[in-house]
């Protein structure tokens, strides 16, 4: 089971709250200042811009820019809370929807007010999350009509064009871009697709206008795991080092990590001194992505972890793009052969060629993630790659590639956190 522990100086100010194993009720949320009319939509947009809040879905795009772009697009905009986390090592979004649905719905309603949207969706693949959101909508109907759209859980289902396609009644599969959803999304209308953590942080900025959003924008939810210790869902401020995170997760002697879910590639032990900061990590050649970090514990081989990652990606291919199907499969097969000591002598050369020639050639980022993982293994652990040409290391020999090892379960929610304060139930929006 995944543990929960806040690394924030003051847990009450973060997303995890004081009781992360329970679902908050509408009464609890309102008593704590939720759904309050603290700022006008325009003022809130200015605060979001001033805070520097970036999206928490993986790309890290400035939240204010996305909001303003949809707002200025005209027409009848749509807003979507994207809770479909396809990364196997991430559990934060499903936890948020199960434990703090009102925080997410508050942020969704504020995004609708900022953009002028009169239609909103919550997009999920987790049945437990869908039930909690449905219950929360019954407790406190928002000003904008909200529809829950469920989908099958796959790696590509949360990609923004796949979200649009599924809401419009099609399969949850990516489409070519442009147009992007902010230009032409659900029903052909300008559409804001925002990660649920991003929306939750927008709600926190609105609830604490005196803080001006700086503290809220400079912390993030993280799903930490390894092959040697229990997974951990945590919240940490920017500036916390990766080594400190590894220690908190129970892998203090980590020799590296797989970063950003499956998008940040592998890093070595020397990079664990890097601070948790998207800009710094990008400059160092890696990525925070969706906040999922898998540390390499004692006895774990980077070649095996890379093979696990691409094994998962190959199994999750949408099978729409021939170059992705062939490329990801080739990388997966070659990494598996390398990890198990069966690779030909030209395996490193082939992996290097694919890592540089394949990115950007698929409809979504799955092929990029596969190529990036292979490239980082060659770049960070070259001597290890060469040694595997002569035979597998003990760790790889006893553990053939299996992408299922990367999956992290959602922390258990044990009850409902209620407030003694009675609140009037609002009327549904017309």
**DSSP string for 297-360:** -TT--HHHHHHHHHHHHHHT--S--HHHHHHHHHHHHHHHHHHTT---TTHHHHHHHHHHHSTT
Give domain status of residue 183, yes or no.
yes
How many degrees, rounded to 5, is the angle at CA 68 between CA 63 and CA 72?
155
Of the candidates 61, 88, 90, 78, which has an alpha carbon nearest to the alpha carbon of residue 123? 78
Give domain status of residue 9, yes or no.
no
Give domain status of residue 360, yes or no.
yes
Q: What share of the chain is helix, strand, coil (3-state, %, to 5)?
A: 45, 15, 40
Residue with tokens 């970036």: 54
Backbone torsion region of residue 291, taken as left when φ is above 0, otherwise alpha when ψ lies between -120 and 50, otherwise beta: left
Q: How far is CA 25 from the centre of its chain?
A: 25
Tell me the pLDDT tens digit for each residue of 33-78. 899 998 999 999 999 999 999 989 888 889 999 999 999 998 899 9
343 and 203, same structural domain? Answer: no
Give domain status of residue 341, yes or no.
yes
Q: Which domain holds residue 337?
A: 219-406
What sign does the CA torsion over 275, 276, 277, 280 have? positive
The strands making up 265-268's β-sheet, listed across from edge to edge, are 3-6, 232-237, 219-226, 292-295, 256-259, 265-268
147 and 36, same structural domain? Answer: yes
How many degrees, rounded to 5, is the angle at CA 329 between CA 324 and CA 334?
135
Any long-range contacts for 175-179 (C-beta under 8 Å, 24+ apart)? Answer: 175/363, 176/363, 177/363
28 and 147, same structural domain? Answer: yes
Residues 245, 258: Cα–Cα separation, whole Å: 13
For the full predicted model, state whether its pTM sits above 0.75: yes
Residues 53, 74: Cα–Cα separation, whole Å: 24
The strands making up 119-124's β-sheet, listed across from edge to edge, are 146-150, 119-124, 78-82, 191-195
Torsion angles phi and psi, residue 308, rounded to 5: -60, -45
248 and 285, same structural domain? Answer: yes
- List the chain pLDDT tens, one digit each, 430 residues: 899 999 998 766 789 988 898 899 999 999 988 999 989 999 999 999 999 999 898 888 899 999 999 999 988 999 999 999 989 999 999 999 999 999 999 999 999 999 999 999 999 999 999 999 999 999 999 999 999 999 999 999 999 999 999 999 999 999 888 889 999 999 999 999 999 999 999 999 999 888 777 888 999 999 999 999 999 999 999 999 999 999 999 999 999 999 998 989 999 999 999 999 999 999 999 999 999 999 999 889 999 999 999 999 999 888 888 889 999 999 999 999 999 989 999 999 999 999 999 988 877 888 999 999 999 999 999 999 999 998 888 878 777 788 889 999 999 998 777 654 444 445 444 4
Distances (CA, A) of 302 to 71, 295, 297, 367, 401: 45, 10, 10, 20, 11
Residues 248, 233: Cα–Cα separation, whole Å: 10
Of the candidates 89, 82, 91, 80, which has an alpha carbon nearest to the alpha carbon of residue 57? 82
Tell me the pLDDT tens digit for each residue of 157-200. 999 999 999 999 999 999 888 889 999 999 999 999 999 999 99
Last residue of a domain, one of 173, 195, 216: 216
286 and 167, same structural domain? Answer: no
Of the candidates 199, 68, 214, 66, which has an alpha carbon nearest to the alpha carbon of residue 144? 199
For residue 375, what is the domain's CATH number?
Answer: 3.10.20.600
What is the total residue count of the chain?
Answer: 430
Residue with tokens 């604490």: 208
Residues 52, 216: Cα–Cα separation, whole Å: 10
Residues 288, 56: Cα–Cα separation, whole Å: 9
Backbone torsion region of residue 400, taken as left when φ is above 0, otherwise alpha when ψ lies between -120 and 50, otherwise beta: beta
Give domain status of residue 2, yes or no.
no
In a 13 Å sphere around the CA of 288, the CA atoms on its Cβ side amount to 28
235 and 124, same structural domain? Answer: no
Instruction: Specify the DSSP class assigned to residue 186.
Output: G
170 and 254, same structural domain? Answer: no
In terms of DSSP H, where are the helices of 77-186? 92-99, 101-115, 127-139, 160-167
Which two tokens mark 166? 């599924």
For residue 46, what is the domain's CATH number?
Answer: 3.40.50.11540
395 and 252, same structural domain? Answer: yes
189 and 55, same structural domain? Answer: yes
184 and 233, same structural domain? Answer: no
- Number of folded domains that form the chain: 2
Instruction: Specify the DSSP class assigned to residue 229.
Output: S
Burial bucket for residue 292 (CB in 10 Å: 0-12, 13-18, 19+): buried
Give domain status of residue 416, yes or no.
no
378 and 273, same structural domain? Answer: yes
Residues 170, 164: Cα–Cα separation, whole Å: 9
Can you give the pLDDT at residue 197? 97
Residues 143, 371: Cα–Cα separation, whole Å: 44
327 and 192, same structural domain? Answer: no
In terms of DSSP H, where are the helices of 147-277? 160-167, 196-207, 214-217, 242-249
Question: How many C-beta atoms lie closer than 10 Å to residue 386's C-beta?
Answer: 11
């Amino acid at each position: 089971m995944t543990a929960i522990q806040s690394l924030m100086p003051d847990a009450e100010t973060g997303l995890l709250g004081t009781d992360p194993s329970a679902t908050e009720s509408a009464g609890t949320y309102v008593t704590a200042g939720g759904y309050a009319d603290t700022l006008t939509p325009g003022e809130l947009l200015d605060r979001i811009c001033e805070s520097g809040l970036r999206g928490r879905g993986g790309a890290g795009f400035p939240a204010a820019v996305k909001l303003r772009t949809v707002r200025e697009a005209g027409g009848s905009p749509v807003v979507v809370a994207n809770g479909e986390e396809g990364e196997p090592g991430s559990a934060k979004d499903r936890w948020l929807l199960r434990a703090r649905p009102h925080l997410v719905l508050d942020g969704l309603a504020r995004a609708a007010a900022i953009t002028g949207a009169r239609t909103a969706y919550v997009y999920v693949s987790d049945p437990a999350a869908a039930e909690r959101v449905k219950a929360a909508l019954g407790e406190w109907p928002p000003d904008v009509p909200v529809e829950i759209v469920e989908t099958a859980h796959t790696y590509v289902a949360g990609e923004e064009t796949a979200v649009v396609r599924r809401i419009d009644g099609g399969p949850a599969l990516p489409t070519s871009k442009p147009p992007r959803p902010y230009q032409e999304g659900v029903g052909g209308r300008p559409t804001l697709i925002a990660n649920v953590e991003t929306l939750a942080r927008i709600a926190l900025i609105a609830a604490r206008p005196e803080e001006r959003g700086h503290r809220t924008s400079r912390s993030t939810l993280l799903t930490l795991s390894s092959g040697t210790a229990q997974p951990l869902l945590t919240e940490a401020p920017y500036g916390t080092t990766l080594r400190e995170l590894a220690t908190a997760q129970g892998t203090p002697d980590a020799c590296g990590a797989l970063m950003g879910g499956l998008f940040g590639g592998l890093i070595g032990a020397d990079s664990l001194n890097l601070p948790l900061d998207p800009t710094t990590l990008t400059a160092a050649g890696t990525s925070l992505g969706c906040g999922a970090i898998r540390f390499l514990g004692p006895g774990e081989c980077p070649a095996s972890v890379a093979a696990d990652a691409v094994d998962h990606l190959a199994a999750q291919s949408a099978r729409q793009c021939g170059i992705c199907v062939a490329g990801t499969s080739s990388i997966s097969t070659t990494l598996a052969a390398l990890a198990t000591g069966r690779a030909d002598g030209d395996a490193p050369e082939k992996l290097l060629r694919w890592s540089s020639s394949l990115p950007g050639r698929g409809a979504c980022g799955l092929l990029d993630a596969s190529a990036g993982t292979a490239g980082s293994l060659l770049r960070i652990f070259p001597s290890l790659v060469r040694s595997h040409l002569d035979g597998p290391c003990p760790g790889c020999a006893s553990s053939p590639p299996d992408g299922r090892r990367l999956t992290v379960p959602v922390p258990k929610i044990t009850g409902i956190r209620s407030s003694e304060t009675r609140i009037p139930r609002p009327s549904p929006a017309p």
